[in-house]
Structure 1
Amino acid sequence: MKKESQLERQIRRGEVYRREDLVPFSGAVDRDLAELVKKDIIVKLRNGLYHYPKLSVFGKLPPDEVKLVRKFLKDDNFLLTSPNLYNSLGLGTTQLYNKPTVYNHKRKGEFKLGNRIFNFIDKSSFPKKNSSEFLLVDLLNNISSLAEDASAVLGKVQEKVLTMDRFKLRKYIDSYGNPKTKSFMRSIL
């Protein structure tokens, strides 16, 4: 039985690694990574991006999306969101989407990371975390791309606004709303 390599001793389950993170632990990092992939110890997510999966009774667990996006971008300045989160607003949206959205300052387009496709949008500003106020503004910004009946959703927005923090909502509209969203929200605030 072959002994564990230096590289294998350094990696931790559940973590995502870039090739360059692992160079200090191997004299031949590409060979060692290829061997670990071949032995099914780590998973190659895309060129230069690897995951050492945690195990469950159902098999290997996928990487944590935040860790995955952080390593892919080499940056913490992003907001991971999804149109699925709009469903929590109670505006009648019920569709499920399988492409998370990543607002960031570095990448633009759809990227396959492992078995998931992420929609990266280069946006000038976005909050640090999701909130119901931001999700409402984001929903209005993207309403034309949703599968739901836009007029039915828009009809419920005024009622929803009454339950939200108006100060925070105005701030988010000014900071993150597109012109159409700003105009619509001015008419009901």
Structure 2
Amino acid sequence: MARLDELKQNLVPGKVYRREDLTRWTTSVDRDIRKLLDAGELTKLSGGVYMRPKTTSFGRAPASDRDLVETFLRDKRFLLLTPNAYNALGVGATQLYNETVVYNRKRHGRFKLGNRVYDFRMKPEFPAVATKEFLLVDLVNNLKRLAEDETQVLERAKVVARELDQGALQQAADDYGGVRAKKFFRNVFTETGAVDG
């Protein structure tokens, strides 16, 4: 029992752990995890991923997206994004989406972690922070996945593209644009005379 108490004392409320993280405090990790799960001292979020519940005045708080994804991937290099971010660009995107996209270099597919589903997409390159320029390129990349009128969104995207930093937008299109996005922005830059080379 002393070993289980020691394990409990080392678990921080609200923090996400992998099974192997817990082996530093117990030699009977599976048995102790089962006891903590049964006692409500630990919550299973996914295979081998657990959280020490954190209680607030509103009840049990979910794990932060960042902590959850970092523990699941075993990697700090990822970008969390929701398609709702496109709405702030002013391109006529108004739909609300209940999903979080995770650009990363390790996993691909939809995974349920806790009560939420994350859409993991493997990408060789993505920025550390989603700038407006990146979001506009990403919008064009993902237009087929969205429930928006493509023609209207693309027309408005041209207007927005002219208002953004042309150098940063061209760099984002070069670095992160798919074939369609590269062609779209090449045409926009040609129209505005902002194309390099």
Q: Output the TM-score relative to the length of structure 2.
A: 0.91
The share of aligned pairs that are identical, in percent, is 44
- Whichever residue aligns with residue 102 of structure 2, its letter is V
Aligned to 2:60: 60
Cα-to-partner distance string for 1:96-138 (whole Å, 9 max, x where unaligned): 1122111111111111111111111111111111111111000
- 4+ aligned runs moved over 3 Å, structure 1: none
Give the structure 2 partner of residue 104 of structure 1: 104
What amino acid sits opposite 1:77 in the alignment?
Answer: R
**Residue of structure 2 in register with 1:115 after alignment:** 115
Counterpart of 1:175 in structure 2: which amino acid?
D
Provide the secondary structure at the position in 1 that maps to 2:184: helix
| 1:88 maps to amino acid | A
Match of 1:184 in 2: 184
Aligned length: 188
Aligned to 1:35: 35
Q: Greater shift after overlay, 46-55 or 138-147?
A: 46-55
SS at match of 2:121: strand
Instruction: Give 1:35 shift.
Output: 1.2
Q: Alpha-carbon deviation of 1:54?
A: 2.1
Shift of 1:139: 0.4
What's the offset of the Cα at 1:164? 1.2
Residue 5 of structure 1: SS of its match in structure 2? helix
Instruction: Tell me the distance in 2 between the aligned counterparts of 1:90 and 1:39.
Output: 49
Deviation digits for residues 48-86 of structure 1 (CA, Å, limit 9, x no counterpart): 100113222221111100111100010111111111111
Whichever residue aligns with residue 120 of structure 1, its letter is F
CA–CA distance in structure 1, aligned partners of residues 48 and 123 of structure 2: 25
**CA distance in 1: counterparts of 2:121 and 2:185, whole angstroms:** 23
* Mapped pair 1:160 → 2:155: no
Deviations 1:12-58 (A, max 9, x none): 11210001001010121111111111111221001110011322222
Distance 1:111 1:102 in 2: 10
Give the AA of the match of 1:83. Answer: P
Rounded to whole Å, the distance in 1 between the matches of 2:117 and 2:104 is: 16
Q: Give the corresponding residue for 1:12.
A: 12
Is the partner of 2:80 in helix, strand or coil?
Answer: strand
Q: How does 1:84-103 map to 2 (within 5 A)?
A: 84-103=84-103
